[in-house]
Amino acid sequence: MASGGVAVCRLAEERKSWRKSHPHGFVAKPETLPDGSVNLLLWKCVIPGKKGTDWEGGYFPLTLHFSENYPDHPPICKFPAGFFHVNVYDPGAAWNPSITVPQILVCIQDLLDNPNPFSRAQRFIYHLYAKNMPEYKKRVRQQAKRYPSLV
């Protein structure tokens, strides 16, 4: 079986598993093409802000782009352009986690409130995070309001 076939089979199994059980409040759906077929290599996701954090109340869109070499190569994760976070580059590109879709999303949810200051993607946001935490938290709360629940 070609590597693309392995990726599609693995993602089909992950989709089936997701439908049976997934973390509360999270959304992860493969893209539906105009002809009604499903593109298992592109997933539209939503990550809820963790309760008790400045991210609470927000439901943050994320796209997972899987290659035909998945699971040997991790997906590329993209937030919307201009997403306010220390570890998300301005065009929306983020880190490349691996493992399963639910684990990826839960890990990213945790990283929202616990950014890695050693992997700075946006200098201005890092500066706020390091030097002006009240302003940083204010902007996180403003962003959470820009992404209300779609469910």
What structural domains does the chain harbor?
3-146 (3.10.110.10)
CA dist 119 and 130 (Å) reads 13
One digit per residue, the tens of pLDDT, for the chain of length 151 reads 444 799 999 999 999 999 999 999 999 999 999 999 999 999 999 999 999 999 999 999 999 999 998 888 888 999 999 999 998 887 766 654 547 888 889 989 999 999 988 888 899 999 999 999 999 999 999 999 999 887 6
How far CA 144 is from CA of 45, 57, 80, 105, 132, in Å, comes to 16, 6, 13, 17, 19
H helices, E strands: number in the chain: 4, 4
Quote the pLDDT of residue 71.
85
Quote the pLDDT of residue 20.
95
Note if the pTM is more than 0.85: no
Quote the pLDDT of residue 151.
62
